[in-house]
Amino acid sequence: MEDLRKQANDLLCYYGKMQNRLTQAGVNDTNSLVTMFTQLQRGLDAVAYEELDPAIQEVNRLVESLTKMQADLQVLKELKGRMHQLRNGAVEQGNGGARRAER
């Protein structure tokens, strides 16, 4: 009988420690843990496994397209900057030549 009481006490101590760890992890009790597991399972069941790979591939294609667009826009920006520099250089040279002619 004393052995049974010790086993019950050990079990209660273990359960108390487990409850403390669950509480520290943000879980109120084992019932809420089961509820969260059920919600997770329902959420995962709502999405078919087979539809994930095509969706991931589509996202990858979109990212590749956007990356190419970004590179193209960067090249365009650099070309515009160089053209602006060339035009400003030509205007400055043109103004410098006009000033020399006035003297």
pLDDT tens-place values along the chain, 103 residues long: 889 999 999 999 998 998 899 889 888 888 888 999 999 999 999 999 999 999 999 999 999 999 999 999 999 999 999 999 999 887 777 666 555 445 4
Every domain of the chain and the residues it spans: 1-46, 48-103
DSSP characters over 24-40: HTT---HHHHHHHHHHH
Distance CA 12, CA 57 (A): 51
Instruction: Decide: 29 and 22 in contact? Cβ < 8 Å.
Output: yes
To 10 degrees, what angle do helices 2-24 and 30-45 make?
50
